[in-house]
């Protein structure tokens, strides 16, 4: 089996992770491309005795840290600053490795030991980082949430999860038209959207219409993430696969709220 064949099944998820880590599709994909280029050129290789997936993520991390100093070019690190409405200043409260650790464990599903291997740290340090990051997230990022989901049980699960994180669910919509109408009325600070709303239409269409009116972070929650991670068109930065773990929702909500910076409209 060639290297390309070995890595191909893991690339959509590495690209998802990279985009969430650095806060943009362009920057995230650039880091993934650099890692793959180094791999295919034989400059680095996956350590023997570990999974291909963990090895691939470790190589990505080494290149990301080397190229960016553990920080994306758009983010300024600092500790002890007060809470801010600006995402780059909020991110300063959580260092890059904490963000990485939270994503690797909660979204990518790596164990604490695997995560420690990927980020070149100890399991004990990884566990401390998770606890510290979660505490900061819960204290700083409360917002109003719109849930777009046609399955009542899943909608209830999402409502319970985000409420427990300190957010306020202002509306739940099961169809495209209902979602757009409620968004315009409630003006949420975050949207969690299913892609397929059955007879109620498309969650993607609902989100597109909402974003025509105002700029807010969107998290897609879907049973078929690979359909949105093709590399052939602009892709969602934030994506959670069904069935989801509570930790996956928590980590992705935190990343979306941390990184989102509304686009300035020309007057």
In this prediction, residue 228 has a pLDDT band, given cuts at 50, 70 and 90, of low
> Which of the residue ranges 98-107, 205-214, 228-237, 252-261 would you say has the lowest mean pLDDT?
228-237
Peptide bond into 145 cis (omega under 30): no
Q: In 110-151, which residue ranges form alpha helices assigned H by DSSP? A: 112-119, 123-140
The percentage of residues in the chain with a pLDDT greater than 90, rounded to a whole number, is: 42
Between 41 and 258, the more confident residue is 41
Between 23 and 102, the more confident residue is 102
Q: Is 191 helix (H, G, I), strand (E, B) or coil?
A: strand
Chain segment 34-76, per-residue pLDDT in tens = 999 988 888 888 877 789 899 999 999 989 988 754 444 444 4
Mean pLDDT (whole number) for 233-259: 79
In this prediction, residue 152 has a pLDDT band, given cuts at 50, 70 and 90, of very high
List the domains of the chain with CATH numbers: 3-139 (1.20.140.160), 142-259 (3.40.50.2300)
Chain segment 161-212, per-residue pLDDT in tens = 999 888 999 999 999 999 999 999 999 999 999 988 999 998 989 999 999 9
| Cα–Cα separations (whole angstroms), residue 256 to 4, 70, 99, 174, 178 | 31, 19, 12, 22, 23
Max CA separation in the chain (angstroms): 58
pLDDT at 87 over 70: no
Distance CA 147, CA 112 (A): 30
In this prediction, residue 33 has a pLDDT band, given cuts at 50, 70 and 90, of very high
Distance of CA 145 to the CA centre of its chain: 16
Between 25 and 224, the more confident residue is 25
> Which of the residue ranges 59-73, 128-142, 145-159 would you say has the lowest mean pLDDT?
59-73
> Which of the residue ranges 36-50, 85-99, 102-116 would you say has the lowest mean pLDDT?
85-99
Distance CA 115, CA 133 (A): 15
In this prediction, residue 226 has a pLDDT band, given cuts at 50, 70 and 90, of low
pLDDT at 24 over 50: yes
């Amino acid at each position: 089996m060639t290297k390309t064949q070995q890595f191909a099944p893991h690339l959509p998820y590495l690209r998802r992770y990279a985009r969430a880590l650095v806060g943009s599709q362009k920057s995230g994909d650039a880091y993934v491309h650099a890692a793959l280029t180094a791999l295919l050129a034989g400059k680095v290789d996956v350590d023997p005795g570990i999974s291909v997936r963990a090895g691939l993520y470790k190589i990505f991390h080494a290149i990301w840290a080397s190229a960016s100093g553990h920080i994306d070019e758009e983010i300024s690190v600092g500790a002890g600053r007060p809470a801010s409405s600006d995402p780059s200043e909020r991110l300063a409260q959580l260092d890059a490795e904490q963000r990485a650790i939270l994503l690797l464990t909660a979204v990518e599903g790596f164990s604490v030991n695997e995560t420690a291997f990927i980020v070149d740290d100890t399991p004990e340090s990884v566990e401390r980082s998770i606890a510290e990051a979660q505490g900061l997230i819960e204290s700083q990022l409360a917002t109003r949430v719109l849930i777009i989901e046609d399955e009542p049980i899943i909608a209830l699960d999402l409502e319970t999860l985000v409420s427990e994180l300190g957010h306020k669910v202002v509306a739940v919509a099961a169809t495209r038209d209902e979602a757009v109408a409620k968004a315009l009325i409630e003006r949420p600070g975050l949207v969690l959207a299913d892609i397929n709303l059955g007879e109620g239409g498309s969650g993607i269409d609902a989100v597109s219409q909402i974003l025509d009116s105002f700029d807010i972070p969107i998290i897609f929650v879907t049973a078929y993430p690979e359909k949105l991670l093709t590399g052939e068109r602009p892709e969602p930065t934030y994506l959670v696969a069904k069935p989801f773990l509570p930790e996956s929702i928590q980590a992705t909500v935190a990343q979306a709220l941390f990184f989102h910076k509304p686009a300035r409209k020309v007057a």
